[in-house]
Amino acid sequence: MNLSTPDIHFEMRDNIAVIRLTRPSKRNALSDGLVASIRNIFENLPEHAGAAVIDGDGEHFCAGLDLSELKERDAGQGMHHSRSWHVALERLQYGPVPVVAALHGAVVGGGLELASACHIRVADESTFYALPEGSRGIFVGGGGSVRIPRLIGVARMTDMMLTGRVYNAVDGERIGLAQYLVPTGSAFDKAFELAQRIATNAPLTNYALMHALPRIAEQPADQGFLTEALMCSIAQAAPEAKQRVRAFLEGRADKVQKG
């Protein structure tokens, strides 16, 4: 199946899915069609995909919602529009494989919402983050109010939206918007290297990290402990887990190296 469109490029590099926003003349602004394409890609990833990388062509990762499509919508239409983003980004977050975002330039508005749905964010030094919705008279609608406070806290997101505060790459990494900060121009390479490493994990471990961990983290502790015990028992019962543990005990597996 051809998952590319003029605005998004999809390719498999061995078992890594590479997804690139290709609308640089509009700073990769997310049109309705582009959001639908993201959903389509994560609903139809090839079975052999082990991880994915998403990045953007040109000077910026993503300028957010395509403001030229911001129509006069009544409340019901507005809700359905927002829900279409939720579905697309849920397919990404709770999809078949972990996704690493390679960030550079503007990561703003819906672009930050897209990045927040990814499992790992690698930012280069040109990256900057903002939520200009506040100054455009609108509100986040792509899951940002759920995901961004979980990365940086309600107070920082409130500040970004009330005051238009822009975080640079260094401060973005410090507060938790990205887990990695790399030299300008190297975010994709680092993200790809991480994706290759992720793809060597046992599939059930990756599944647990994507689907169980965020839900456990939202559960009351007593329920979380039980869910953890269930997930842990399922993962360790898999033949692959047994092989990996045996390989370590027999000296055939890598030791943890000092960072």
Work out how close the CB of 108 gets to ligand 1HE at its nearest, in angstroms, rounded to a whole number.
Answer: 5
CA distance 131 to 145: 11
- Fill in the per-residue mask, 40 to 79: x = in contact with ligand 1HE (CB under 6 A), - = not in contact: -------------------xx--xxxxxx-----------
**88, amino acid identity:** A
Q: Which residues are catalytic?
A: 113, 133
Structure-token pair, residue 92? 């990404």
User: Residue from 7, 55, 124, 133 that binds ligand 1HE (CB under 6 A)?
Assistant: 133
Query: Are 147 and 140 within 8 A, CB to CB?
Result: no
H-type alpha helices, the chain: 32-43, 75-93, 110-117, 133-136, 144-152, 154-163, 169-175, 187-198, 203-207, 213-218, 221-237, 239-249
Work out how close the CB of 42 gets to ligand 1HE at its nearest, in angstroms, rounded to a whole number.
Answer: 17
| Cβ neighbours for 102, distance < 8 A, ≥ 6 positions apart | 53, 54, 55, 61, 122, 124, 187, 188, 190, 191, 192
CA distance 105 to 59: 6
Q: Does 110 bind ligand 1HE (CB under 6 A)?
A: yes
Kindly tell me which of 16 and 29 has the beta carbon lying closer to ligand 1HE.
29
Q: Name the segment binding ligand 1HE (CB under 6 A); options: 91-99, 118-126, 138-146, 217-225.
A: 138-146
How many residues belong to the site for ligand 1HE (CB under 6 A)? 23
CA distance 83 to 75: 12
Q: Tell me which residues in 176-195 interact with ligand 1HE (CB under 6 A).
A: none
User: Residue from 122, 142, 161, 167 that binds ligand 1HE (CB under 6 A)?
Assistant: 142
Q: Name the segment binding ligand 1HE (CB under 6 A); options: 101-109, 115-123, 185-193, 217-225.
A: 101-109
Phi-psi region of 58 (alpha: psi -120 to 50; beta: other; left: phi over 0): left
Q: Does 95 bind ligand 1HE (CB under 6 A)?
A: no
Work out how close the CB of 147 gets to ligand 1HE at its nearest, in angstroms, rounded to a whole number.
Answer: 12
- Using CB under 6 A, list all residues that contact ligand 1HE: 26-27, 29, 59-60, 63-68, 85, 106, 108-110, 132-133, 136, 138, 140-142
